[in-house]
Chain A
Amino acid sequence: MTIHAITVLGHDRPGIIADTTARLAGLGLNLEDSTMTRLRGHFAMTLLCAGEATTDAIRADLEPIASDGTLTVTVYELPEEQAPAGAGRLFVLSVHGGDRPGIVSTVTAEIAAVGGNITDLTTRLSGDLYVVVAELELPADADVSVLEASIKRVAQELGVDATLRPIEADDL
């Protein structure tokens, strides 16, 4: 049993997901985790599949999807890994302000500096407004108030606003 990471990127059209997943099913692959979305109108999909098929066999089977040149498909085998324990504390970081280069890199550097791990991140550009929403896991020994202050300091230097809040537990 191996895990393969498959990405499909490019021009969006109806049927990409149906076609790709049918081919993977035909190879006996099981979709374990996936994300599929559109970014600025482009199709973007990442799949983690488990099964016995080889990398070469998957590449060959998916080749027709990319044959018209509008989609790029990549296939890589991933090493088996246990999911991290997730003992850290969970937070949501919102950053918004005028679009400029370096917002994500500057703010995320502060998170990395305290050993925080970003588990999910979305950015949106809406007119002049740039929005970043990140979910993060902070190590137990990280000082949240110090991190919050450092994020707000770099945000101010960038001329953007930043808010760090604990993720509220689901009610059920």
Chain B
Amino acid sequence: MSFNERVAAWTEAELGVEGKVLEVVRAPAHVLSVPGKDVDPTAPETIQLAADLIATMRVSPGCVGLAADQVGVSARVFCVDVSTHVKTKTHHGTYVLCNAEVLEASRNEKAREGCMSVPDLTGDVKRASRLTVRGQLPVTGETVEIVTDAFEARCLQHEIDHTDGLLFIDRVAGAHALHQRQTYL
């Protein structure tokens, strides 16, 4: 597995703007159900959005990723940071990806997922545990490929689904795979 040093070295300091904490919208908000628009990763509004997503993720307990549609913006941008999660193996720290897509996915595993936009439910979802994703970093617009596994792979697929207008409840494994959330972080 080739670790992406560039992504791992990325920090929100590269954005050069202060992020604002935004309100997270909840299903059934329409914005969560429509595919986001491609963005210009170098545009000031994209850079501000990236900073806002990270700021909002940081203040949300247990949040390991946040997509633009979750703060009401229908755009293909999300941030992730799974670095402190117990199920994480490989991780690239905090980063923002624009216009991301899955290139390769394999080794499906089922695990429980939640979402800040569906706060009272969790679901068992099969996702690839080996994943290659391509996207663009904000500010520079450079294209990066991330090869990862385990929880970071799951998180990236969850966030890319958001950019495609999908929620984890679109992918639950069966009629008994949807659960009332038992614990709130």
> Which A residues are within 8 Å of any B CB, using their own CB?
92, 94, 96-98, 120-122, 124, 126-131, 133-135, 160-161, 163, 165, 167-168, 171
Is the beta-carbon distance between A133 and B172 smaller than 8 angstroms?
Answer: yes
Q: Hey, which chain A residues are within 8 Å of B171, CB to CB? A: 94, 163, 165
Q: Number of B residues contacting the other chain (C-beta, 8 Å)?
A: 22
User: Are the C-beta atoms of A94 and B170 separated by less than 8 Å?
Assistant: yes
A46 to B132, CA, bound (A): 46
Looking at the complex, which one of A97, A98, A131 makes contact with B121 (CB distance below 8 Å)? A131
Q: How far is the CA of A135 from the CA of B180 in the complex (A)?
A: 19
Q: Is A97 in contact with B28, judged by CB distance below 8 angstroms?
A: yes
Chain B residues, Cβ within 8 Å of A128: 26, 28
> Are B28 and A124 in contact, CB atoms less than 8 angstroms apart?
no
Interface pair B120/A168, CB less than 8 Å apart: no
| Interfacial chain B residues near A168, Cβ < 8 Å | 108, 126, 173
Roughly how many angstroms separate A168 CA and B125 CA in the complex, as a whole number?
11
Question: Please, which residues of chain B bring their CB within 8 A of the CB of A98?
Answer: 28
Q: Which residues of A contact B176 (CB under 8 A)?
A: 120, 122
Task: With both chains docked as a complex, state the minimum distance between the C-beta of B41 and any C-beta of chain A, in angstroms.
Answer: 28
Give every chain A residue within 8 A of B83 (Cβ-Cβ): none
Most buried by A among B26, B33, B175: B175
